[in-house]
Structure 1
Amino acid sequence: MKLVYRRMAEQDMAALYIIKFSVSENLPKEHNIKYLTNQYVLDDIRNGCAWICEHKNQFVGFAIGVYDNGPLIGGLYVMPDYHFKGIGTELLNLVKRDLFKKYPDSSHISLTTDVGSSAEKFYLKRKWIFLGLDQYGQSIFRIGRDD
């Protein structure tokens, strides 16, 4: 399968929404709905830590790194038909690399995800450390620069 990974551009914003809403887990919560507005998404894309994956001219996954009191994985989504093909892992690695390069003084990257989701298993398998639950009941994970 020939996959193309590239940095996201502003014109990819529609694809981001299509991919994000193709999944049944980690849907937007009331506390983070503002991050789906066009301006937030455009700012995240312009930040330079956003990647998208294409297969046969179809967008199939994306990942965005952001900074909010430290570097975070702001989103990692892969279309269901493309799960278990290494796309999520590659997107995650690209964004992790970018975040650590952009924020050289940061010792770790964090993220949150739904409790009991397949994403929890995905991150644990990749050696992310579970830290507990945040104030919204989501799982918090962290990985160090050298992990």
Structure 2
Amino acid sequence: MIIREAKIDDIKQIQIVRNSVTENTLSNPNLVTNEDCLEFITIRGKGWVCEINNEIVGFSIADLKENNIWALFLKPEFEKKGIGKQLHDIMLDWYFIQTSINVWLGTTPNTRAETFYRKAGWKEIGKHGKDETKFEMTYHDWNKRKTNQK
């Protein structure tokens, strides 16, 4: 298993992962384009992938422009193996090296993702869009959490 920065050549496999999920699915797969992925990993922020046997099985992307986690997804068969936590942690470590501005994300209520973010220390701060829960992580809370994990 390798976790590394996402490259432009990874976008096709990133899209495969994004469209394989069973929760937080896209109502229309065309809503997230290859051009969107390119912009988020090269201009707006940075992404990471988890690769196993030359196959991308998960990815995460942080957006510095909107101070948001744009994506953290795994192929369903690779869930509950610690990959999501590793992608999450490397992404937040990088994010908070770049800025001390709070970061937010939205996810569907009553999902494994919601449970994951609560367990990772994210605080619910309201609603996002029509039907998502909005979470936030502060620079202080992230650093405190990282210190307590050592």
Going from structure 1 to structure 2, the CA distance change for 1:39 and 1:87 (only over 3 Å counts) comes to same
Name the SS for the 1:140 alignment partner: strand
- The SS at the match of 1:110 is strand
CA root-mean-square deviation: 1.8
Does the 8 A contact of 2:62 with 2:91 survive in 1? yes
Q: Structure 1 residue runs of 4+, over 4 Å off?
A: none
In the alignment, which of 79, 82, 85 is matched to residue 86 of structure 1? 82
Query: Which residue pairs with 1:111 in the alignment?
Result: 105
More helix by percentage: 2
CA distance in 1, matches of 2:132, 2:30: 15
Which residue of the partner structure matches residue 93 of structure 2? 97
Q: Secondary structure at the match of 1:146?
A: helix
- The answer (yes or no) to whether the contact 2:106–2:134 under 8 Å persists in 1 is yes
Q: 2:128 aligns with which of 126, 134, 145?
A: 134
Give the Å deviation of 1:49: 1.7
Structure 1: state its 5+ residue gaps: none
Report % sequence identity.
Answer: 29
Deviation at 1:42, TM superposition (A): 0.4
Q: Corresponding residue for 1:14?
A: 12
Contiguous gaps of at least 5 residues in structure 2: 142-150
CA displacement, residues 37-76 of structure 1 (integer Å, 9 cap, x when unaligned) = 222210111135200001122111000001344x111000
Q: TM-score, normalization: structure 1?
A: 0.87
CA drift of 1:81 comes to 1.1
Distance 1:66 1:33, change over 3 A: farther
Q: Name the SS for the 1:84 alignment partner.
A: coil
2:35 corresponding residue in structure 1:
39
- The CA deviation at 1:7 is 0.4
CA contact (8 A) 2:19 2:26 kept: no
Change (3 A) 1:58 1:135: closer
TM-score relative to the length of structure 2: 0.85
Superposition deviation, residue 29 in structure 1: 4.8
Total equivalences in the alignment = 140
**Paired position in structure 1 for 2:148:** none
